[in-house]
Amino acid sequence: MGAPGLAFDGILGAALLWTAWQAIHAAGLFRAVVSFMVFGLLMALAWVRLEAPDIALAEAAIGAGITGALLLSALGRLDWEAGRATDECLRGRDRAFWVPTGLLLLAGLGGAAWLLPAPGLGEPVAAELGRSGVENPVTAVLLNFRAWDTLLEIAILLLGVVALWSLGPTPWPSSPELVSPALPMLGRVLFPAFVLVSAYLLWRGSHAPGGAFPAGAVMGAGGVLMLMAGARPWLSGDVHGPWRWALALGMVAMLGVAFAVMTGGHGFFEYPVELAGRLILLLELAAGLSIALLLFALYLGGEPPADWETRRPA
């Protein structure tokens, strides 16, 4: 795109720096949260300009969806309007520590970027792509070559939910705080679109940007929207209910596949080439479903009641 592209990138970069600064240093908490949400939006555009549509999609799904909802809800639990303007600007002593640390970190990152082999690992991935079972290199890395990392990511989400649920019951009411006829309508209109788009992203993951993480994040955000539109969630804290298993589904499926291939004489997560495509599809489905449920469970901020109607604790 030449000079106009450069101008666009320059404005985008400046806006990114400005919103990042605002998110940390704004005088009010609400302004900081809005700045952070705008930062996420601009970051997704920056990933697009860096030719990384997969990351842009994940950033959009997580940054624009569940993160914004989490931060705004957290604000609602603080008395951010009580006029306590943040006086926690950097003081002299802190600055003497953080400014050199920041510069050192920046120098380290710059040095790492400088020293990295120039073409990166793109070529080895492209060489092995034919044996991975999928056509999209990012999905091949996430669910085949480095499936181990994905397993640990899902394990971290699961651990987070377990830790959160152990802290106490969910603070959110079952009915919307703002009574408006538009809210239930919005939920009813948008929920099918959420299901459609996340199924589409999951399906596209094998040959184009998409996959379990964006699909799960979109579906989880859909669940949060429905909760706030006044719908009663399926997910309950019932000890005998199916939901605890559903939360662990992604982890169980990945471990199951990893050990099942070992019985066939392969290594841990080393899929047989002829089965790789189907195994990856299976794992994507399981991981997508459980990521959606895990993100929703994380948003709840505590253990949901066994019965949402009576709010009987689990």
| Smallest distance from other proteins to CB 160, Å | 20
Which positions from 200 to 229 touch other proteins by CB under 8 A, shown as an x/- string? Answer: xx--x---xxx---x---x--xx-xx--xx
Is residue 68 near other proteins by the rule CB under 8 A? yes
Q: What is the Rg, in whole angstroms, of the alpha carbon atoms belonging to the chain?
A: 22
CA–chain centroid gap for 283, Å, is 17
Spatial distance between the Cα atoms of 292 and 284, rounded to a whole number of angstroms: 12
CB 201 within 8 A of CB 218: yes
Is residue 30 near other proteins by the rule CB under 8 A? yes
| Smallest distance from other proteins to CB 145, Å | 21
Q: How many residues does the chain have?
A: 314
Binding residues with other proteins: total (CB under 8 A): 69
* Token pair recorded at residue 176: 């919307």
Is residue 44 near other proteins by the rule CB under 8 A? yes
Is residue 50 near other proteins by the rule CB under 8 A? no
CA–chain centroid gap for 159, Å, is 15
Is residue 21 near other proteins by the rule CB under 8 A? no
* Token pair recorded at residue 89: 């600007």
Q: Out of 73, 164, 203, 270, which residue is the one contacting other proteins (CB under 8 A)?
A: 73
Is residue 245 near other proteins by the rule CB under 8 A? no
DSSP state of 123: H
Among candidate residues 224, 240, 230, 243, the one with its CA nearest the CA of residue 290: 243
Whole-angstrom CA distances from 164 to 22, 113, 161 are: 29, 36, 5
Is residue 301 near other proteins by the rule CB under 8 A? no
Task: Please report, as a single letter, which amino acid is at residue 162.
Answer: V
Point out which residues bind other proteins (CB under 8 A).
1-2, 4-5, 7-8, 11-12, 14-15, 18-19, 22, 30-31, 33-35, 37-38, 41-42, 44-45, 48, 53, 56-57, 60-61, 64-65, 68-69, 72-73, 75-77, 79-81, 176-178, 180, 182-183, 185-186, 189-190, 193-194, 197, 200-201, 204, 208-210, 214, 218, 221-222, 224-225, 228-229
